[in-house]
Chains A and B, each alone.
Chain A
Amino acid sequence: MTAMTDAVGVEPVLDIQNLRVTFQTNDGPVAAVRGVDISVSKGETVAIVGESGSGKSQTMMAAMGLLSDNGRAEGRVLYRGEDILGLPLKRLNTVRGARITMIFQEPMTSLDPLYSIERQLCEPMIEHGGLGRKAAAARALDLLKLVGIPAPEDKIKAYPYELSGGQRQRVMIAMALANDPDVLIADEPTTALDVTTQAQILELLADLQKRIGIAVVFITHDLGIVRRIADRVVVMKDGEVVEAGQTAKIFDHPAHPYTRMLLDAEPEGEKPPVGEDKPIVIDGQKVGVSFAIPRGFMKQPVLFHAVEDVSLVVREGQTLGIVGESGSGKSTLGRALLQLLPHSGRVHFDGQDISNAGKQVMRPLRRQMQLVFQDPFGSLSPRMTVGQVVTEGLLVHEPGLSAGERDRRACQVLEEVSLDPAMRNRYPHEFSGGQRQRIAIARTMVLKPRLVVLDEPTSALDRTVQKQIVELLRGLQAEHRLTYVFISHDLAVVRALADTVVVMKTGKVVEAGPTAAIFEAPRDPYTRDLIAAAALEPMHGRVVGA
């Protein structure tokens, strides 16, 4: 640890020493952080990386006195030599929000929905900077210009709900900079944002840091970001620092196996091609979906075109990747293909026209067309055991099966997704996010489908877990000749899984083609932006399973 401080050679602004955090729970005390040392100096960016549950966020929350009521922190948190841990609230509040500020992971909920942007930006300035309302409002406007919010004169009067996620995060950054702080703590500030927005926010932070020279503590699980912005890296696992050092050193010569595993977590390989002779499974021609937005009594509703004229063909064993940012219509397209939404245009499944087909036509086909959702926490019924969840589809599609036979199938399919069949009598809340996503996949596999639409199945998961799910999906596809429609904003995952890619923006296809062509020679500027923003490692050129 001392070596780290020496390497920079200046007095650290914020120096966390032997910090321990314990939470009192119903199952007794839980140690979330166990003796962590982190320091950051002026003008330096230190990244804390680790998977969810590693204690990286709690470390900084504890340092700022923001633990929940059942949490207790011990150790020392020195800000310019003064221990701020356990200071009386009044004294602590002269540091928080004034000298040390924070940005959070959740841009959608971190601002008070009931007050205008102006009011919320001004509050800390009036509180700490001793500014009057007028002066604070003028500075707030300057700050909004600084962080690059479009039409700042209008947006300053707006309420948080009127701003997009990226704009809200910019407001948070403006708030963080308002009192010219020494330290900025950014807790996963870009995780909830689209890739292009993410790149803009990171650029903004880096640029501001260069201009203002503050110390930044950046908490993230995304190593691509770390490599781009951090001077030093602290790797955390299970509440402890397992490795720390200069960014280049950590990336080039990781010492700890856990660090190596994190670095290795980028999904690898590409998909072996599928012959043109294979039958076409799903064929969509000029598919469109529009929603009527009511404008009030007796007024014509406005038509909102969520998807416009999208054509695509997927053959047996192929994976079609649909990429795009939130609001691009990619999920809507997936649902339209499965006939879960009324649409215009034609959709053929195995040669049969199923465009807007009724229940009678669809019922026998449903078994072959399955859907996996993004949220592994919300998509499994909390009142059913895993065994029941997995076999529920069989009750509909094979009502004649005996309970014993269903149980046998459940065991079989759980094994197939690498879960212990003995766990089938447990409830979903007992499983981790990655395990739940395996359960969700098992639920579709038990029906032996032909087509699976996967709607952001890896987005809510840590990188290392993502990689395992990608491997699982790849294995299942090869074994059962499955056809995938893979919806994602994560280009690394799409590159590893898809044969062909469709890039969508505001409901339209901006570019489509074979995966390699799209990633190596994107023609459309939007695709180029997306790929640049994702900061992908170069293709390994390795074909998995070929």
Chain B
Amino acid sequence: MLGYVLRRLFTAIPTLFFIVTGAFFLIRVAPGGPFNLERPLEAKVMENLNKIYHLDKPLWEQYLYYLGNLMRGDFGPSFVYRDFSVSELFASGLPVSVQIGASALVLALVFGTLLGVAAALRQNQPADYGVVGLATLGITIPTFVIAPLLSLVFGVWLGWLPAGGWGDGAFANKVLPVVTLALPQIAVVTRLTRGAMIEAMRSHHIRTARAYGLKPWTVVVVHALRSAILPVVSYAGPAAAALLTGSVVVETIFGIPGIGRYFVQAALNRDYTLVMGTVIVIAIFIIIFNLVVDLLYALIDPRVRLG
């Protein structure tokens, strides 16, 4: 088990290397640069800036220089947020995004599973149609609609919660962004659980469990849900990586200092080092959560062998 985890992490190193290389050259292919502002800088200033940030060197030299720094854990300075290094930006933003994302993930898994199971057990009954309808709504309405709506209703009209802002991480400030992030995920998890549960409840071994007079709880949770949860687990891995690395929409609308915003802004601004940093952070999260999914699979299903 430990050996398997170490081997997986070891094989992640070349994966990361390819991602870094690909991203590095791709963002450089995009026209423009970090200092091409709307009002062009003076040639002399531009030259100096390029010199400071090593942009005057050939591309391969820049690449080697970046790799060298990366080895030492240095993501370099941000090109646009002057005075900040990329590491500093992440150190302040990542905990915020992870907090919001993790809360949304837990919310999604708990409610999604509950609703999915409840709907599956009442298949083709009003309660089922209700849940499926809500889930469809949750998937189809984009977050950039939900977020301002929630903010308007609970923040402005009712005045129960702050309409936006971080408030140094006060609980009240987190509620709306977490709910906004969680809603579409609840919808997806509900649908996945419902489908898998309906199939599981029809399987032969559930028939056996029922024929042997086991309690409904044992039949539904111990036997059916354990196999029905597998598709949810495979979905939850990549979803967790996406949630924990922050959402552009939610962070922008609620004014939350997470790292989700950086990805879009950095790409638009050609903030090369920040783009690279975001890519690496997201890649690491995806690699880790895929590993977690595989471990969970082996834990749930004895037929899955790690190796």
Give the interface of A toward B (CB within 8 A): 64-66, 68-69, 89, 92-98, 101-102, 104, 106, 109-116, 123-124, 127-128, 159, 161, 172, 175, 296
Contacts and interface: CB of A to CB of B under 8 A. Distances in A.
Contact of A114 (B123, B216, B226): B226
Contacts of A104: 204, 207-208
B223 A97 contact: no
B213 A112 contact: no
B205 A95 contact: no
A124 B303 contact: no
A106 B218 contact: no
A96 B213 contact: yes
B300 interface: yes
Contacts of A128: 213
B213 A296 contact: no
Contacts, number: 81
Contacts of B30: none
Interface in B189-205: 202-205
A66 B202 contact: no
A142 B178 CA distance: 54
Interface string B203-229: 111011111111110100001001100
Contacts of A65: 210
Given A110-B205, A113-B301, 18 more contacts: A65-B210, A66-B211, A69-B123, A89-B216, A92-B213, A93-B215, A95-B213, A96-B211, A97-B212, A102-B211, A102-B212, A104-B207, A110-B207, A115-B223, A123-B209, A123-B212, A159-B302, A172-B208
B208 A111 contact: yes
Nearest to A106: B204
Contact of A97 (B202, B211, B303, B307): B211
Contact of A124 (B124, B214, B227): B214
A104 B205 CA distance: 10
B212 A161 contact: no
Contacts of A98: 213
Contacts of A172: 208
A293 to B, nearest CB: 14
A101 B300 contact: no
Contacts of B210: 65-66, 96
Contacts of A66: 207, 210-211
A97 B215 CA distance: 11
Given A68-B202, A104-B204, A113 B227 contact: yes
Interface of B: 123-124, 202-205, 207-216, 218, 223, 226-227, 300-303, 307
A128 B207 CA distance: 17
Nearest to B203: A109
B184 to A, nearest CB: 30
Nearest to B210: A66
B4 to A, nearest CB: 12
Nearest to B125: A69
Nearest to B209: A112
B213 A111 contact: no
A128 B218 CA distance: 13
5 contacts: A66-B210, A96-B210, A102-B211, A114-B227, A127-B212
B212 A114 contact: no
A101 B303 contact: no
B168 to A, nearest CB: 46
A96 B212 contact: yes
By CB atoms of chain A within 10 A, which of B204, B209, B210, B211 has the most? B211
A112 B302 contact: no
A123 B214 contact: yes
Contacts of A123: 209, 212, 214, 218
Contact of B215 (A68, A92, A109, A127): A127
Contacts of B212: 96-97, 101-102, 123-124, 127, 175
Closest 7 interchain pairs by CB? A97-B212, A97-B213, A93-B213, A96-B213, A109-B204, A112-B205, A124-B212
A147 B124 CA distance: 42
Contacts of A95: 213
Contacts of B307: 296
Contact of B214 (A93, A109, A161): A93
A124 B214 CA distance: 7
A106 B123 CA distance: 25
B213 A113 contact: no
B205 A124 contact: no
Nearest to A159: B302
A264 to B, nearest CB: 33
Nearest to A111: B205
Given A101-B212, A128-B213, A114 B207 contact: no
A93 B302 CA distance: 29
A222 B234 CA distance: 44
A278 B303 CA distance: 52
Q: Which of B123, B209, B213 has the most CB of A within 10 A?
A: B213
Contacts of B216: 89
Nearest to A89: B216
A102 to B, nearest CB: 5
Nearest to B208: A110
A109 B205 contact: yes
A515 to B, nearest CB: 38
